[in-house]
Structure 1
Amino acid sequence: MKNWVRAALLGVLSAAELLVSTVVHLGYAFYIFGTAVAADVASSLVDGLTAAVGLGSGGGVAKGAAVESEAEAAAALDGTVPPIVLVHGIFGFGKGRLGGLSYFAGAEEKDDRVLVPDLGSLTSVHDRARELFYYLKGGTVDYGEEHSKVYNHARYGRTYERGHYPFWDEDHPVHLVGHSAGAQVIRLLHQMLHDGGFDGHVGTSERWVLSVTSLSGALNGCTRAYIDGVRPEDGWSLRPLCLVQVCRVGSILYHWLDLPFLNRYYDFGFRHFAMSRRVVGVAGLLFGSGDRRRGGPFATGDWILPDLTIHGAARINARVRTFPSTFYFSYASRRSSGGGGGSSGMVGIHPLLFLRAMQIRRWRYPAGVALPYEGYRDEDWEDNDGALNTYSMTHPRIPDEHPSVPVVEEEEVVGPLRPGVWYYRIVEADHMTFVINRRRGGVQFDLVYDSIFHNCRRHAFRNAPPPPPPAANASESELTDPDQELVAAI
């Protein structure tokens, strides 16, 4: 009787927690979406009134203006200075989405050579890395023949008629900055460049990237993925009743509806899966999404949540190297710690993250389940920023630890920075401090982004001017590939 009562109470508490979490997350999502739509409507009204009184041509919406401005910025890149590429995390978006709202809260304005790609917000790290390559280089996104067959989706995705940085190569490299899940995306792309895994592009190498920066990055996964519903037994399947199931159902319905109005503002990124009502009909919505034989990202595990588990990160890290010619920087955020909250505690933490910060701090790996790696300890994973564990964000640790140097204050780094080493700092901030709302980030926002851009522009550069970029219509065989050394200086 006592055990039955205990189980009933736990069930009620779990249901209440799920209800609260769902309401909070959906409320925030509708707030962001509504803000974007309202901004577009207001812009259209202003343009219409302006045109009516003869002060302008009118027409268009904020999103269209954002897309046009990004195209202009990309065209201005001449290859003389490496661009900085800001890559968003889970549920994120690039420039031109959500009515021109900035995921990085306007941080891209700190430099005149910055690109903010729009990648799938829920697609797997592999698929997003492939999308990022073609966003920069141009062409039709190729997810890879083998990968596409294994996960039963189309091999090819959207086409970029002209890449945002088409002369990207070893002589005209880029700086990659990834927030949250975006950190693993840029690391996997870096490895793919080394492996040469892009058909039709000969000579790719890790030297196409000058620096890799992780901002609150999921470098070793997170325990929140298990809290939200991924089973720790295998690292990819879902519990029947959990927050991730709500996310799964919502995104399936969103893609099945396939409404142009909604797609214009936001896209979860599953266009290469057959999920639209135009393709699968009602039967596909009701019966196809969970059938592994028919595919679907949630049925096969080819989406972002399995990659954010400790299991998934270990699989990615087993493949991805830290290269001796690349500079690495990491900013690990912390808002709640096992010792009672850290120096800043829970004061001011984003409402979206408050409950999860406490849960992550108290979560323990289930007894009787095989640990995700040798040497795992629950206490290592207590400190967190409300979304990710601070332990995971400093540098790649599992299954093998990569070279790293902790930095308390920037002035403590004496002498030239060394490539092939992760320089990491722990900043007292939550996971939303550096995105969406610049005002909320306060002084910390500017300090961190100024440091990131300073590293890219001063600490990691070439010792000679790059050769002129090749003509836009030059063939792959005509591109030169001279060897130049990377150097670092303070």
Structure 2
Amino acid sequence: MKKVISILLSVVMIFTMFSTVAFAEDGKNIVEYNGKKYDLTNKHPWIFVHGMGGWDKYGEEAYWGGWASSEGDVIDLFNSNGIEAYAAVVGPFNSAWDRACELYAQLTGTIVDYGEAHSKEHNHDRYGYDYTGKPLMGEAWDMKEKINLVGHSFGGHTVRLFASLVAYGDEAEIAATGEDTSPLFKGGHENSIYSVVTFSGVHNGSPIANLIHDSFFMTGIIALLNFAGATFGSEVLMWDLPMGHMGLTPKQGEERAKFSFSTIRTAVEAQDNCGYDLTLRGSRELNEKIKTVDSAYYYSYSCNSTNKTAFNTYVPIASNFAMFYLTSLYIGAVEGKTIDGIYMDESWAKNDGIVPYASALYPATEKDNAKSYEEAVNAGEKIEPGVWYYMPTMEGFDHFDFCGTIDYPTSFEDFYYTLVETINKP
């Protein structure tokens, strides 16, 4: 009997050691986890934006929950600890511009306005889904309340462009529609963006995107999307495909789209999709358009799941996510090549399975405005807005680990609790 009681007490002690305990301390929301205290006082809402091919939840599997291998759901983790967090669901295969417009409409509870100038240039409808009465945060965002933006993978392009538009607008759209211009394109709200965080952001593109886009694969993918829209509608498996403005999937309220070779050809030629934006030239064009918001804090997180071989190539480690093995091998062998006018050195071969190390750190246009967060902190420097701070590369972790499978430094919770403290610190 004593042995049973001893075992039970041991189990209780272990559970207590690793459990999360929340309590108030001087008006702050202090959470104790794994023997460490974290200040999780909610300052500003967090908006999470998925990458290419992302979704919200498919059954019980959330994008921000690491699929079936999840340690937890990021959004649930935040909200259960008093941190206001929301997962936006934008077009999984749409361009960064279109996704930024969709994000704005979701936050403000309005109709998606892709902009007159942009829509004419890319030969699609100006308006998309109607989110009237359904704002993401419950109440319509007034562009005055500060928000934290978090983008994973292609979500990095999306939140960077969104922040730039909110702050500085777009001259072409203002010239095209004057007073009828969406508030998103008018700018003037730079103080509403508190921080921009990217996880494995594809800031400078990926050779994988060039491989896909510059071949018949891109046409095949767009044709497949149109086929899905004509056969199943806008909801296919885990995805909601808001591509009705292009004619590829049904418009809101319609059941099916029309399968059309001319529509497919138009969409391919328009180059208004994630495939083009993720190429090295597409990302370079976006970087030239996107402005860093002077009053916002910028942080980038990168990881590496490869090892260097004796042949000067990089190969995936054994624990690399299986879906990323082939792509990791391809990227790992690019050193010495030139793609879209950019010479691929060793930093482009090292990768997380999808994104090269050189691309995940910061946009190339911000090279002179970027610095190591670790070095800045160790030097006692004040963290400044408008500067790109890149975090220490997380070795042994792949592209999808940020979405819930992460185990760094000791757990999923540790990473995100530390993230909140980091963003709230300035």
The TM-score range, normalised by the shorter chain, is 0.7 to 0.9
> Match for 2:152: what amino acid?
H
Counterpart residue number, 1:99: 59
> Match for 1:87: what amino acid?
V
Residue 410 of structure 1, CA deviation: 9.5
Please give the root-mean-square deviation of Cα atoms over the aligned residues, in Å: 3.2
Counterpart residue number, 1:87: 49
Distance in 2 between residues matched to 1:448 and 1:317, nearest whole Å: 29
What does 1:3-402 align with in structure 2 at a 5 Å threshold?
81-94=43-56, 97-99=57-59, 101-105=61-65, 106-112=73-79, 113-162=84-133, 163-165=135-137, 166=139, 168-169=141-142, 171-197=144-170, 199-200=182-183, 204-227=188-211, 229-231=212-214, 239-240=215-216, 242=217, 244-259=218-233, 262-263=235-236, 265-276=238-249, 285-292=259-266, 296=267, 298-338=268-308, 346-363=317-334, 371-373=340-342, 376-398=343-365, 401-402=367-368
Residue 281 of structure 1, CA deviation: 9.1
Distance in 1 between residues matched to 2:352 and 2:380, nearest whole Å: 29
Residue 219 of structure 1, CA deviation: 1.0
Counterpart residue number, 1:57: none
| TM-score of the aligned structures, taking structure 2 as reference length | 0.74
Structure 1: give runs of 5+ residues left out of the alignment: 1-79, 232-238, 460-487
8 Å CA contact 2:335–2:348 kept in 1: the answer is: no
| TM-score of the aligned structures, taking structure 1 as reference length | 0.65
Identity %: 25
> Match for 2:132: what amino acid?
E
Question: Secondary structure of 2:112's match?
Answer: strand
Distance in 1 between residues matched to 2:98 and 2:142, nearest whole Å: 21
Distance in 1 between residues matched to 2:282 and 2:313, nearest whole Å: 28
Counterpart residue number, 1:26: none
- For this pair of structures, how many residues does the alignment match? 356
Distance in 2 between residues matched to 1:276 and 1:433, nearest whole Å: 31
8 Å CA contact 1:177–1:213 kept in 2: the answer is: yes
Question: Secondary structure of 1:133's match?
Answer: helix
Distance 1:407 1:203, change over 3 A: closer
Residue 331 of structure 1, CA deviation: 0.4
Distance 1:402 1:247, change over 3 A: farther
Distance in 2 between residues matched to 1:291 and 1:140, nearest whole Å: 27
> Match for 1:248: what amino acid?
I
Residue 361 of structure 1, CA deviation: 0.8
Residue 99 of structure 1, CA deviation: 2.8
Deviations 1:156-214 (A, max 9, x none): 11111232344535641100000000011011011111233552577642221000001
Structure 2: give runs of 5+ residues left out of the alignment: 1-41, 66-72, 171-180
Question: Secondary structure of 2:62's match?
Answer: coil
Distance in 2 between residues matched to 1:175 and 1:154, nearest whole Å: 30
Distance in 2 between residues matched to 1:167 and 1:194, nearest whole Å: 18
Residue 149 of structure 1, CA deviation: 1.3
> Match for 2:385: what amino acid?
P
Counterpart residue number, 1:49: none
8 Å CA contact 1:221–1:309 kept in 2: the answer is: yes
Residue 326 of structure 1, CA deviation: 1.0
More strand by share: 2
Distance in 1 between residues matched to 2:363 and 2:308, nearest whole Å: 21
Deviations 1:52-109 (A, max 9, x none): xxxxxxxxxxxxxxxxxxxxxxxxxxxx842000100000013xx4235311111112
8 Å CA contact 1:207–1:325 kept in 2: the answer is: yes
Counterpart residue number, 2:16: none
> Match for 1:301: what amino acid?
Q
Distance in 1 between residues matched to 2:209 and 2:409, nearest whole Å: 29
Question: Secondary structure of 1:317's match?
Answer: helix
8 Å CA contact 1:335–1:385 kept in 2: the answer is: yes
8 Å CA contact 1:407–1:413 kept in 2: the answer is: no
Distance in 2 between residues matched to 1:420 and 1:441, nearest whole Å: 27
Question: Secondary structure of 1:418's match?
Answer: coil
Residue 124 of structure 1, CA deviation: 0.3
8 Å CA contact 1:90–1:121 kept in 2: the answer is: yes
> Match for 1:427: what amino acid?
M
Question: Secondary structure of 1:177's match?
Answer: strand
Distance 1:409 1:291, change over 3 A: same
8 Å CA contact 1:124–1:303 kept in 2: the answer is: yes
Residue 448 of structure 1, CA deviation: 3.3
Distance in 1 between residues matched to 2:119 and 2:92, nearest whole Å: 19
Does 2:401 match 1:418? no
